């Protein structure tokens, strides 16, 4: 008589979790094939705040230049690194768009926010880089709005 063990619920759950993690591990190891950054992307990257951010609930973000792809940035959050394409929005905000289509960082003068675009929700808010902390502490400008100035080219084109 053969003694074969029948997997219990805990074993089945562990196996399912391991199988579910395989695509994530494989995608994390696959090298990225990214197109060269254009002039607008390079310009948006130059406006990005690089370094550490302190967010709500003690969370932290770190934004660094991507070492392999000019004009791209890496955003580290909760042990994961997301390669992102900087985009300057028509409002003047800097958007860091995940090249894998999952995460999004929006930088405005007084804070940054991290979104999970697949789940359609904000992951963390009130992230402050030192430059944003200084901007938030400065007296308000005479202009109204949220403190985002349109890019010079958009302003000139609107006239």
Domain that holds residue 123: 39-158
In a domain, 24, yes or no: no
In a domain, 137, yes or no: yes
In a domain, 96, yes or no: yes
In a domain, 113, yes or no: yes
What pTM was computed for the model?
A: 0.69
**Tell me, what's the pLDDT at 108?**
94
In a domain, 18, yes or no: no
In a domain, 124, yes or no: yes
4-32 confidence digits (pLDDT tens): 444 444 434 433 443 344 344 434 446 67
pLDDT of 155 above 80: no
46-99 confidence digits (pLDDT tens): 999 999 999 999 999 999 999 999 999 999 999 999 999 999 998 889 999 999
In a domain, 22, yes or no: no
| One-character DSSP codes across 58-114 | G-EEEEEE-SSSTT-EEEEETTEEEEEEEEE-TTS-EEEEETTSSEEEEEETTEEEE
Long-range contacts formed by 32-41: CB under 8 A, 24+ apart: 32/68, 32/69, 32/83, 32/99, 34/69, 34/72, 34/83, 34/85, 34/99, 36/70, 36/71, 37/69, 37/70, 37/71, 37/72, 37/85, 38/71, 40/87, 40/88, 41/71, 41/85, 41/86, 41/87
CATH for 74: 2.40.128.50
Q: How many folded domains does the chain comprise? A: 1
In a domain, 136, yes or no: yes
State the residue for tokens 């090249």. 99
């Amino acid at each position: 008589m053969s003694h074969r063990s029948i997997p219990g619920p805990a074993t089945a759950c562990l196996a399912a979790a391991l199988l579910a993690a395989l695509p994530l591990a494989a995608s994390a190891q696959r090298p990225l094939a990214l197109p060269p950054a254009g002039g607008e992307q390079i310009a948006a990257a130059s406006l990005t705040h690089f370094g550490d951010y302190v967010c709500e609930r003690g969370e932290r973000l770190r934004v660094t230049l991507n070492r392999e792809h000019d004009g791209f940035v890496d955003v580290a959050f909760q042990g994961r690194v997301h390669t992102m394409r900087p985009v300057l929005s028509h409002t003047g905000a800097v958007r860091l768009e995940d090249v894998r289509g999952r995460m999004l960082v929006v930088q405005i003068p007084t804070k940054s926010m991290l979104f999970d675009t697949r789940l359609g929700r904000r992951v963390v808010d009130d992230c402050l880089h030192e430059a944003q902390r200084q901007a938030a502490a400065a007296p308000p400008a005479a202009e109204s709005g949220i403190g985002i100035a349109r890019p010079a080219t958009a302003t000139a084109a609107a006239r």
